[in-house]
A and B are shown apart, each in its own frame.
Chain A
Amino acid sequence: MRYLPLTPADRSAMLGVIGAGSVDDLFADVPAAARLSGPIAGLPRHASEMAVERHMAALAGKNVSAGSVPFFLGAGAYRHHIPASVDHLIQRGEFLTAYTPYQPEIAQGTLQVLFEFQTQVARLLGTEVANASMYDGSTACWEAVAMAARITRRKRAVLSGGLHPHYVATVQTMARFTGDEIDSRLPQLAAAPDDDALIAAIDAETSCVVVQYPDVLGRIPDLAKIAAVAQAQGALLIAVVTEPVALGLIEAPGKLGADIVVGEGQAIGVGLQFGGPYLGLFGCRDKFVRQMPGRLCGQTVDAAGKRGFVLTLSTREQHIRREKATSNICTNAGLCALAFSIQMTLLGGEGLGRMARISHARARQTAERLAQVPGVRVLNSAYVNEFTVLLPTDAREAVRRMADGGVLGGVSLGRLYPGAGDLSNGLLVAASECTTLEDIEALGVALEGVLA
Chain B
Amino acid sequence: MNAVNQAGWRPEMGQANAATRATSSGDRALMLEEALIFELGQPGTCGVDFGETDLPPLDSLAPFLRRDPLDLPGLSEPEAVRHYTRLSRQNYAIDLGPFPLGSCTMKHNPRLNEKVARMAGFADLHPLQPVSTVQGALGAINQLAHWLIELTGMHGVAMSPKAGAHGELCGLLCIKAALEARGEARTTILVPESAHGTNPATAAFAGFAVESIPATCEGRVDLAALTAKLGPHVAGVMITNPNTCGLFERDMKAISDAVHAAGGYVYCDGANFNAVVGKVRPGDLGIDAMHINLHKTFSTPHGGGGPGSGPVVLSAALSPFGPLPFTVREADGSVRLVEEEQAAHEHPQGFGRMAAFHGQMGMFTRALAYILSHGADGLQQVAEDAVLNANYVLCSLDDVLDAPFGASGPCMHEALFSDTGLAEGFSTLDIAKGLIDEGFHPMTVYFPLVVHGAMLVEPTETESKAGLDRFIASLRSLAERARAGDEALKSAPHFAPRRRLDETMAARKPVLVWQG
Contact = CB atoms under 8 A, between A and B. Distances in A.
A106 B304 contact: no
Interface in B40-92: 41-48, 50, 53-56, 58, 60-61, 63-67, 69-75, 77, 80-81, 83-85, 87-92
Given A296-B512, A300-B505, A330-B198, A106 B203 contact: no
B305 interface: yes
A393 interface: no
A273 B123 contact: yes
Contact of A122 (B133, B307, B380, B513): B513
B186 interface: no
Interface string B128-141: 11101111110110
B70 A18 contact: no
A77 interface: yes
Interface string A321-358: 11111011111111110100011111111111111011
Contact of A3 (B41, B71, B373, B503): B373
A139 B169 CA distance: 12
Contact of A109 (B91, B162, B163, B464): B91
Interface in A39-70: 39-47, 49, 51-53, 55-68
B128 A75 contact: yes
A92 to B, nearest CB: 4
Contacts of B114: 91, 96
A312 B122 contact: no
B336 interface: no
A250 interface: yes
B387 A26 contact: yes
Nearest to A13: B465
A263 B114 CA distance: 26
Given A47-B373, A403-B129, A36 B432 contact: no
Contacts of B497: 105-106, 108
A93 B198 contact: no
Contacts of A27: 248, 279, 387, 410
A313 B411 CA distance: 34
Contacts, number: 706
Nearest to B514: A119
Of A63, A128, A133, A278, most buried by chain B (CB within 10 Å of CB) is A63
Interface in B466-513: 467, 491, 493, 496-503, 505-507, 510-513
B352 interface: yes
Measured as residues with beta carbon below 8 angstroms from the partner, the interface class of chain B is: 35 or more
A408 interface: yes
Contact of B356 (A6, A136, A273): A136
A252 B72 CA distance: 13
Contact of A348 (B43, B61, B278): B43
B133 A408 contact: yes
A383 B84 CA distance: 35
Contact of A276 (B168, B362, B384): B362
Given A62-B121, A273-B125, A403-B132, A97 B109 contact: yes
A95 interface: yes
Contacts of B119: 56-57, 60
B303 A338 contact: yes
Interface residues of A, number: 209
A450 interface: no
B441 A350 contact: no
Given A64-B133, A99-B106, A53 B116 contact: yes
B262 interface: no
B442 interface: yes
Nearest to B109: A97
A64 B74 contact: no
A169 B64 contact: no
Contacts of A403: 129-130, 132-133
Nearest to A248: B70
A9 to B, nearest CB: 9
Contacts of A71: 126
A130 to B, nearest CB: 7
Contacts of B496: 105-106
Contacts of B461: 4, 6
A446 B164 CA distance: 43
A112 interface: yes
A279 B197 CA distance: 23
20 contacts: A3-B110, A40-B278, A57-B121, A64-B134, A93-B93, A93-B95, A93-B96, A98-B91, A105-B500, A109-B89, A116-B38, A136-B355, A146-B205, A275-B127, A300-B502, A308-B501, A322-B197, A345-B41, A416-B128, A433-B50
Give 3 nearest A-B pairs by CB, closest first: A348-B74, A60-B121, A275-B357
Given A345-B80, A361-B53, 10 more contacts: A42-B150, A44-B375, A66-B125, A67-B120, A94-B92, A96-B93, A255-B67, A297-B512, A331-B305, A355-B48
